[in-house]
Amino acid sequence: MAQRLNHVEIGSGKPVLVLHGGKLDHRHILDALEPVFDGVPGWKRIYADLPGCGGSTGFAHVRSQDDVLQKVATFANAAAAGVPLAVIGESRGSYIAQGLGHAHPHLVSGLALIVPGGTSAAQGTLPEPVALVPDAALIAGLEPALRDRAERLVVQTAGIVGKIRQTKLPAGALHDPALEARVQERFLFSFHDAMNGAAFDKPALIVAGRQDSIVGCHDAVAMQGRYSRGTFALLDCAGHSPGWERPELFRALMRDWLERLEGP
């Protein structure tokens, strides 16, 4: 089977590569990000499915996160057509985005890292799930697969639960568990420590949820010193889905990053 990194392109202009969270595909992050670009022309969004996810096929040989990064870098190089990409990564995708910025800096004009983390010993101190805007009746009436995800929402609304049903559940059914298991065995980049000790001096944004029970916020907080041109936002009343849970603030932060990419 031929290798194919499935992707969806929206808009025209300067390229923005968007990388989704683990074991999902592009649909949930597309839903969260497209409102950012309403009335903001000049950006071509490239929403890619990572190897083993969504419609991407032909990656049976992928054995590590280094392999995943190499496939994404090859795709990014072709998509950029000689123009550096702005890269947005969410959750697992944020780790790949960091890898691109470190190992392939010529490809990257800036980074937006949404709910990054999950790669340090701080994972042992994750907060318990808490709903600050709860809807117990809504959650109780959901089917088990959807309830497992919705229970981790900090803001529990029918609208957000509907988005999970429409995007994350079907995406989760498409991911390749064998590829995921192989990558988990060599999850960290071979240059992980060097990357964590290196500086990134291009426009950056780090958005974390204060109540994130999936990856926590410790890793995101620890990143601040590496990004000399980074805006750091730790959002209260937000977990692992800040684009859905705090959409207005999320949109403002993302638009500020886009403006900084344009230059002073």
The answer to whether position 1 is within a domain reads no
Domains in the chain, number? 1
The answer to whether position 78 is within a domain reads yes
pLDDT of residue 199: 97
The answer to whether position 103 is within a domain reads yes
The answer to whether position 148 is within a domain reads no
Task: Please list, in sequence order, all residues whose beta carbon lies within 8 angstroms of the beta carbon of residue 56, skipping any fewer than 6 positions away.
Answer: 4, 5, 6, 48, 49, 50
Q: Does the model's pTM come out above 0.95?
A: yes
pLDDT of residue 47: 98
The domain of 187 spans 7-123+175-262
The answer to whether position 152 is within a domain reads no
Mean pLDDT of 148-160: 97
Mean pLDDT of 102-118: 96
- Assess whether pLDDT exceeds 80 at residue 121: no
The answer to whether position 197 is within a domain reads yes
- Give the CATH number for residue 226: 3.40.50.1820
The answer to whether position 151 is within a domain reads no
Which sign does the torsion angle of CA 60, 116, 25, 157 carry?
Answer: positive
β-strand partners of 16: 45, 86
Mean pLDDT of 32-39: 98
The answer to whether position 170 is within a domain reads no
pLDDT of residue 232: 98
- Cβ atoms of 20 and 174 within 8 Å: the answer is no
